Structure 1
Amino acid sequence: MNVALILNYKAATETISCVESLLEHCATIDHIVVIDNDSQDGSALAFQQWLEEKAYPKVTLLCNPENNGYAGGNNYGLRWAMKNLQPEYFWVVNNDTYVDSDAFSPLLEALRHNDRQFVGSLVLSADTGRLECYGGGKLYPILGKARLLGKNQSIEASQRQNPQHEPDYIMGCSLAFSAALTEEIGLMDEDYFMYFEEVDWQYRAKRFGITSKVIPGSRVFHYGSLSLGSRSAFYHYYRNRAATRFNKRFYGPVFAIVSAFLLSAVTTIKEYRNPTLAWSGIKGAFKGVAMSVE
């Protein structure tokens, strides 16, 4: 069984639109699991009413009793599906996306050829049709930063430039993998809460010889932008905390401390007019160094 997972948080309209597009275009998806991450805004009720009205037998709503972030919500769905659906392949899809063609079958074909990999889609802007990323990005760990591949390029330009340059990680916006892989490497680390969860997961998988690959024949459209325009104290704290915690796990505590200083400097320069935001980023960077990792 092929299972799509869609995480909802206070965005029932977008989630329903995403589900409807998958139902219309992705015939090789056998079941769709929507996880409401304790929205407390009526999202779960709205989705349940829509589901009762449409009577889709291949869609299930789960209500996570707590909002434990991207990793926690998706893990909640993964555990439920593993217990109840006998899945063979999973596809994690952001709820603020939609498809206008069968975006899953190319991913499924790639996984059937080699199930020891994560595979992802080209992510396109719903507004412009240009790339938001060629599947994922390149990491610059010492700076705690990443660069999305192909951003703002046309699909044609990206395909000329990027096939030889696979990303360091696949975006969690569209990420497919085998159920067997989750049993081998475990689920996502929920201590991140936000940011770097799928990156950490794929880097842990590399220790098992598992790779990541972009499948250009799979395309999803994304509302808004993957690079957040509005910066908040919340963003700076959790983004920087995730970056340095990631560095501590994969590069060691000394590397993480150096990156915390550099990331704090970058954040301060960017937010020199907003010392409260800069301070949130600094606290997050050093909190990540202090957090435990395995």
Structure 2
Amino acid sequence: MNVALILNYKAATETISCAESILAHCATLDHVVIIDNDSQDGSAVALQQWLDEKQHRNVTVLNNPENSGYAGGNNYGLRWAVENLNPEYFWVINNDTYVDSDAFSPLLEALKQNDRQFVGSLVLSAETGRLECYGGGKLYPILGKARLLGKNQSIETLQQQGLAHIPDYLMGCSLAFSTALTKEIGLMDEKYFMYFEEVDWQYRAREFGISIKVIPESRLFHYGSLSLGSRSAFYHYYRNRAATRFNKRFYGPGFALVSAFLLSAVTTIKEFRHPTLAWSGIKGAFKGVAMSVK
């Protein structure tokens, strides 16, 4: 069985639109699991009312009893699916996306050829049709930053370049993998709460010989971040905390400490007119250094 996971947080309308698009276009998907991450805004009721009205037998709506972040919410759905659906392959897809063609079958075909890999899609802007990223991005760990591959380019330009781009990581916006892989490497680290969860997961998987691959035939459209809105104290704290904790795990505490200073400087420069936001970023950067890693 092939299962899609869609995490909802205070965006039931967008989540329903995403689910309906993959139900309409992705025939090789057997089941869609929607996880409401304790939205407390009526989302859970709206999702259940939609399901009752449409009577999709291949859709399940779950209510996570707490907002456990991106990793925790998706892990909640993944565990439920493993216990109840006997899935072979998973597709994690952001709720602020939609498809207008079968974006899952190319991912499935790649996994059937090699299930010891994560595979991802081309992510296109819903407004312009141009690339938001060629599957993922490049990391600059010492700065705690990342750059999306191919952002704002046209698909034609990338095709002319031979699609010879290799990201350091795949975006969690569209990420497919086998159940067997999760049993081998474990699930996402929920201590991140927001940001770097899927990056950490893929880097940990490297230790098991797991690779990543972009499947350009798989394409989906992305509206943009719905859960966070504009950059805020929340954004700076969790984004910087995740970056330095990631660095501590994979590059050591000394590297993470240097990264925290540099990231704090960058945040301060960007938010010099908003000292409260800058301070949130600084606290997050050094909190990440202090957090435990395994």
TM-score if structure 1 supplies the norm length?
0.98
**1:102-181 equivalences in 2 (<5 Å):** 102-161=102-161, 163-181=163-181
Amino acid at match of 1:153: Q
Asked if the contact 1:125–1:225 (Cα under 8 Å) also holds between the matched residues in 2, the reply is: no
Consecutive unaligned residues of structure 1, counting only runs of 5 or more, are none
2:195 corresponds in structure 1 to: 195
SS in 2 for 1:122: strand
* Residue 55 (structure 1) aligned with residue 55 (structure 2): yes
Q: Distance in 1 between matches of 2:210 and 2:246?
A: 18
1:244 corresponds in structure 2 to: 244
Consecutive unaligned residues of structure 2, counting only runs of 5 or more, are none
Question: After superposition, what is the alpha-carbon deviation per residue over 1:11-54, rounded to whole angstroms, capped at 9, x for unaligned?
Answer: 11000000000110000000000000001111111110110111
Q: Distance in 1 between matches of 2:163 and 2:114?
A: 18
1:64 corresponds in structure 2 to: 64
Amino acid at match of 2:285: A
Distance change >3 Å, CA 65–CA 221, structure 1 → 2: same
Q: Distance in 1 between matches of 2:272 and 2:24?
A: 48
2:286 corresponds in structure 1 to: 286
SS in 2 for 1:13: helix
Q: Distance in 1 between matches of 2:16 and 2:172?
A: 19
Shift in Å, 1:232: 0.7
2:8 corresponds in structure 1 to: 8
* Residue 83 (structure 1) aligned with residue 78 (structure 2): no
Count of residue correspondences: 293
Asked if the contact 1:132–1:225 (Cα under 8 Å) also holds between the matched residues in 2, the reply is: no
Q: Distance in 2 between matches of 1:118 and 1:174?
A: 10
Q: Distance in 2 between matches of 1:114 and 1:16?
A: 31
TM-score if structure 2 supplies the norm length?
0.98
Q: Distance in 2 between matches of 1:160 and 1:92?
A: 29
Q: Distance in 2 between matches of 1:205 and 1:139?
A: 17
Question: After superposition, what is the alpha-carbon deviation per residue over 1:191-245, rounded to whole angstroms, capped at 9, x for unaligned?
Answer: 000000000000000000001110000000001369x882211000000000000
Shift in Å, 1:262: 0.4
Q: Distance in 1 between matches of 2:62 and 2:136?
A: 28
- RMSD (Å), alpha carbons: 1.2
Q: Distance in 2 between matches of 1:45 and 1:108?
A: 32
Asked if the contact 2:96–2:225 (Cα under 8 Å) also holds between the matched residues in 1, the reply is: no
Distance change >3 Å, CA 162–CA 62, structure 1 → 2: farther
